[in-house]
Amino acid sequence: MKVLITGGAGFIGSHLADAYIARGDEVYVLDDLSTGSIENIAHLKSESRFHYTIDSVQNIPVLAELVDTCDVIFHMAAAVGVKLIVESPVRTIETNVRGTEAVLAAANKKKKRVLIASTSEVYGLSTEIPFREDGNLVLGATNKGRWSYACSKAIDEFLALAYWREKKLPTIVVRLFNTVGPRQTGQYGMVIPTLVKQALAGRPLTVYGTGKQTRCFGYVGDVVKALVSLMDQEGATGDLFNIGSSEEVSINDVAQRILALTSSQSEIVYVPYDEAYEHGFEDMPRRVPDTRKLQALIGFAPKTNLDTILKSVIDHYSRS
């Protein structure tokens, strides 16, 4: 199979490329390196079944040719990371909306199966824990930059599902919950790489807010297995799936575990959200996926627990 991965030099996209190369397939990556990195795919460059193009998904002729060449498409290219979103909302909205429009239009011309990566951010301030795919999305006010990300990805979801309903383009939408592992950068705000780097450098660990907010961290290897299975599964077409771990943990607990696993002497400092992001920033107190739908279709169960994930990230940053 020939697989096109937009955002294939990014954190999740590059692990997805690894999985298809390991399976014996041919991989085409399209990435503009805006948040991705050539280092993430450097180890694949010598592989004859691996091809990459450094360009934007909004370069329509380049995109069209790659879509034509490939059998299936993963659209992973997006502006991600709360810090980046808050600092660059125009870039976030335009990248996410225009990029997905371009990919879906190109895929539709050739009727190629396409998976669109969305995010658990779309659940926003919903308190209906665990979040189900058919639950309400509760977005905050439009003067709070954070919500532009959720809204841009929600539009991507509507568009992908509309292409299936109206034009019979085989689309799949996934909502990725906090995904972590080697190669994730802390540059755009993600908590685990940020705290691990701080602990290894002996700098204070920055916990935002009270640290009592919780997340479920899924291992990138488990998430990639789910993505590959969904692409193979006819029954996933025209549907929407949460992908994530159900191990709920507070950010305080994450910080403590990182200190213990790195034997770091760093202290924990509490940074108010206003200072960490922007005035009036809203965080979600809990974010937990309901993954029963994914479990029923592909038998998904995350295998990697948080300590193992943290060790893999610590190992990655200890070596780099």
Catalytic residues: 149
Quick one: 206 or 246, whose CB is closer to ligand UDP?
206
Name the 3-class secondary structure at 233. Answer: coil
Nearer to ligand UDP, 233 or 252 (CB): 252
Least Cα distance to 22 among 232, 198, 225 occurs for 225
Least separation in angstroms between CB 200 and ligand UDP: 14
Q: Under a CB-based contact definition with an 8 Å cutoff, are residues 13 and 59 in contact?
A: no
148 near ligand UDP (CB under 6 A): no
122 vs 207 by CB, closer to ligand UDP: 207
Residue 179 found at the interface with ligand UDP (CB under 6 A): no
Using rule CB under 6 A, residue 53 touches ligand UDP = no
CB 68 within 8 A of CB 110: yes
Instruction: Please tell me whether residue 306 binds ligand UDP under the rule CB under 6 A.
Output: no
Is 191 an interacting residue with respect to ligand UDP (CB under 6 A)? yes
Residues β-bridged to residue 118: 175
Piece of 88-96, 132-140, 204-212, 296-304 that binds ligand UDP (CB under 6 A): 204-212
Tokens representing 211 are 């640290």
Residue 294 CB, nearest distance to ligand UDP (Å)?
19
CA dist 111 and 82 (Å) reads 33
By CB under 6 A, which span of 40-48, 163-171, 187-195, 259-267 interacts with ligand UDP?
187-195
Dig out the tokens for 264 from the structure: 């770091």
Q: Which of 94, 247, 253, 283 binds ligand UDP (CB under 6 A)?
A: 283
**264 lies in the site for ligand UDP, by CB under 6 A:** no
Indicate which single residue of 28, 147, 163, 208 sits in contact with ligand UDP (rule: CB under 6 A).
Answer: 208
Residue 194 near ligand UDP by CB under 6 A: yes
Tokens of 148: 């532009």
- Name residues whose C-beta falls within 8 Å of residue 107's C-beta, 6 or more positions apart in sequence: 67, 73, 113, 114, 163, 169, 171
| Tally of CB atoms within 10 A around 292 | 13
Please answer whether residues 197 and 265 qualify as being in contact, where contact means their C-beta atoms are separated by less than 8 angstroms. no
Q: How far apart are CA 134 and CA 279, in angstroms?
A: 32
Instruction: Give the contacts of 71 (CB within 8 A, at least 6 positions apart).
Output: 1, 2, 3, 112, 113
Within 10 angstroms of residue 260's Cβ, the number of other Cβ atoms is: 12
- Among 207, 223, 224, 313, interactor with ligand UDP by CB under 6 A: 207
- The SS3 assignment for 279 reads coil
Residue 226 or 313: the one with the smaller Cβ distance to ligand UDP is: 313
Binding mask 213-242 for ligand UDP (x = CB under 6 A): x-x---------------------------
Choice from 84, 196, 251, 310 touching ligand UDP (CB under 6 A) = 251
Q: Which residues bind ligand UDP (CB under 6 A)?
A: 82, 178, 189-191, 194, 206-209, 213, 215, 251, 283
